Amino acid sequence: KLERTLGFIKPDTVDKMGDIISAIYDRGLLISKLRLCKLEHNDAFNFYQEHSGKSFMNSLMNYVTSGPIIAMELVGENAIQRWRELIGPTDPSKARSEASSSLRARFGKDVTHNSVHGSDSPASAAREIEFFFPSCNKQTFSNCV
């Protein structure tokens, strides 16, 4: 089924945007929306609210607010699962132990500084797309995906 998902390139990996866009297109996904933006602390807290109270929440907040990020809406068959396969496991050292070369294997530093994000379910994809692209979703161009 045709799905949409939300990915973002985290601040320390924005300079790898070209490699990441190539990997997305090689995987047969399309970038339907893209923006560069800077998350403030309260934005990041809202985005990651399901992790509030976890031990890594503070370091995660510091990381994703440390500079601009690139948010992308991706479209394709089974886009949610395929984007998660392309980014690889949360922990880059685990990603590097796997046979296929995922984005976190290539660009991640450690379990917090793991270079990219991907929605983990249809419900979180819908919420996270609305988070980054609210006004665009409310537009009613007939040719919008």
Site string for ligand CMP, 19-58 (x = CB under 6 A): --------------------------------x----x--
DSSP the chain: -EEEEEEEE-GGGGGGHHHHHHHHHHTT-EEEEEEEE---HHHHHHHTGGGTTSTTHHHHHHHHTSS-EEEEEEEEETHHHHHHHHH--SSHHHHHHSSS--HHHHH--SSS--SEEE--SHHHHHHHHHHH-HHHHH---TT--
Residues 105-124 that bind ligand CMP (CB under 6 A): 111-112, 114, 117
CB of 138 to ligand CMP, least distance (A): 26
Q: Which residues bind ligand CMP (CB under 6 A)?
A: 51, 56, 60, 90, 111-112, 114, 117
